[in-house]
Amino acid sequence: MVKEAKAPLPDKYKQFGEWYDLVSEKAELADVRYGVKGFVVFRPNLMTIVRAIYETLERDLIASGHRAMLFPLLIPFRNLLVEKEHVKGFENQVFTVDKAGGEELEERLFIRPTSETAIYPMYALWIRSHRDLPFKAFQSCAVYRHETKATRPLFRGREFLWIESHDVFATREEAEAQLREDLEITRKTFEAMALPFLPIEREPFDRFPGAERSVAYDVALPDRQVLQSATTHLLGKRFTSPFGVSFLSASGEKVVPESTCFGPGVSRIAALVISVHGDEYGLVLPFRAASVQVVVIPIRNEPALVEYSRSLAARLTGAGYRVRVDDGSETAGEKFYRWEMLGTPVRIEIGPREAEGRVLTVTRRDTRKRESVPEDGLLARLPAIETEMLAELSRKAWGWLNSNVHEASTREALLAVARGTGGFIKFTFCGGEGCAAEIKAATGGYEVRGKRADVEEAHAASCTWCGAPGTELAYLAKAY
Ligand SMILES: [Zn+2]
């Protein structure tokens, strides 16, 4: 047996910032040494997580009738000025390009902070008839916003990876239905990564610039602050009309269509996979997000053990797993720690007893529990471990989220939760922007996130904070 040493990372529930920075470094995820503020390098271990998220999202978008497209990074500045609220929301955040090849550009360009202003002028050319609708398309890309709120890598960078889908419909009903479909796509991706979320409809004063309805997907992190990981917006005719998108109906009338957009933040979902599942030994990854899914470790560097490890690894690779044999010169204990830090879902130790008896010692990363599996039963056991692990990660993650949703029916109770445990606080809200600002000031930063978008929740007659007539049961949280 290998002796247990001290856990290499702090308790993430107590020192989340330190935990996150250390795991990011030791598990070789985001590298902050690039040298441009707000920009990080995505190392291969992080890109495996990112690609797994992209794959599930793209698969479900395509299955729901979307097609992939790709727009240029640069957008003419005049396009930004077309929709008034949109320009107000983004003009202070955009990176602009004035020069090229040492010469002033005739027309100033900006780098996309989101792509409505690039896409709608082209949609105006492509969409002509009711037969062109619905038009559902997405792009997988990076967007750029000059964020001033500095936070940790992947949470709020100046460059982040996402998918943006931009859909156009003949009717409002179809556009509304798209918001529900976007929620289902988000749900499937989050389930694939064993992540929980609360779909919350944002308040009118807190919507995406130019949106008529915004639904966001919020998750509480180990420090009980909330990360918005994806959003979907009903844009109505707010972009189609000013950008001149129209179609001829079956009866020959010119009609301005409705549109929606959906932006799952892939960088942020990756940050959730890291933060929600990790522990004091490092990352804990679901199989699909792991660069190496099974590591085979000969406990000593003896030819018989190494050879047996390699033959076992070859069989697993043949069965479709991403496998590595660690026959390096470190001690077995050092190797165990390294692969635990990387979040490798399954470790198989090979000692003389295992090699001779053909009964393997298999350790699952999430529970760190060992079990004995006969060699000829391994290929049947691994998919079961994958399923069990995903279910257990999901159960734990939902348990954490649910245990951090509190309800307050008085102002005092609300303040007590805000000063005490933190997390989400449900309360009856009047809908007032001034009331929300007052709560934020009194609680040291708790923001009204909005009401649940997926279920109806009953509310009291008057606002828990100000006593004005209550309009909804809203969620409060501190956010990244
Ligand atoms: Zn109020």
**pLDDT per position as a tens digit, 20-57:** 999 999 999 999 999 998 999 999 999 999 999 999 99
Q: Which of 223, 246, 277 is the last residue before a domain boundary?
A: 277
C-alpha–C-alpha distance, residues 165 and 312, integer Å: 44
437: CA distance to ligand 1 center in Å?
10
Structure tokens at 126: 């492509």
199: CA distance to ligand 1 center in Å?
22
450: CA distance to ligand 1 center in Å?
13
473: CA distance to ligand 1 center in Å?
11
pTM: 0.95
Structure tokens at 241: 């009309």
435: CA distance to ligand 1 center in Å?
5
112: CA distance to ligand 1 center in Å?
37
Residue 286 lies in a domain: no
Confidence of residue 5 (pLDDT cuts 50, 70, 90): low
Mind giving me the DSSP string for 297-325? EESS--HHHHHHHHHHHHHHHHTT--EEE
Are residues 416 and 347 both part of a single domain? no
Kindly report, residue by residue over 146-199, the tens digit of the pLDDT.
988 767 889 988 999 999 999 999 999 999 999 999 999 999 999 999 999 999
Count Cβ atoms below 10 Å from residue 256 Cβ, excluding itself. 14
Are residues 315 and 226 both part of a single domain? no
For residue 345, what is the enclosing H or E element? none
Q: Exposed, middle or buried: residue 74 (CB in 10 Å: 0-12, 13-18, 19+)?
A: middle
Residue 449 lies in a domain: yes
Structure tokens at 243: 């950008």
Are residues 347 and 410 both part of a single domain? no
CATH label of the domain that carries residue 318: 3.40.50.800
Residue 392 lies in a domain: no
- Looking at residue 3, its pLDDT comes to 55
80: CA distance to ligand 1 center in Å?
35
What number of residues does the chain have?
Answer: 480
423: CA distance to ligand 1 center in Å?
20
Kindly report, residue by residue over 393-405, the tens digit of the pLDDT.
999 999 999 999 9
433: CA distance to ligand 1 center in Å?
8
- Looking at residue 480, its pLDDT comes to 87
Are residues 154 and 45 both part of a single domain? yes
Are residues 330 and 451 both part of a single domain? no
Residue 124 lies in a domain: yes
Q: Which of 233, 250, 277 is the last residue before a domain boundary?
A: 277
Are residues 196 and 170 both part of a single domain? yes
Q: What region, left, alpha or beta, does residue 426 occupy, with left being phi > 0 and alpha being psi -120 to 50 degrees?
A: beta
Does residue 84 surpass a pLDDT of 90? no
Kindly report, residue by residue over 94-142, the tens digit of the pLDDT.
999 999 999 999 999 999 999 999 999 999 999 999 999 999 999 999 9
431: CA distance to ligand 1 center in Å?
6
Range of the domain at 415: 405-477
User: Which chain residues have CB less than 5 Å from ligand 1, an ion?
Assistant: 430, 435, 463, 465-466, 468
C-alpha–C-alpha distance, residues 407 and 393, integer Å: 26
SS3 25: helix
407: CA distance to ligand 1 center in Å?
16
453: CA distance to ligand 1 center in Å?
20
Say what percent of the chain tops pLDDT 90: 91
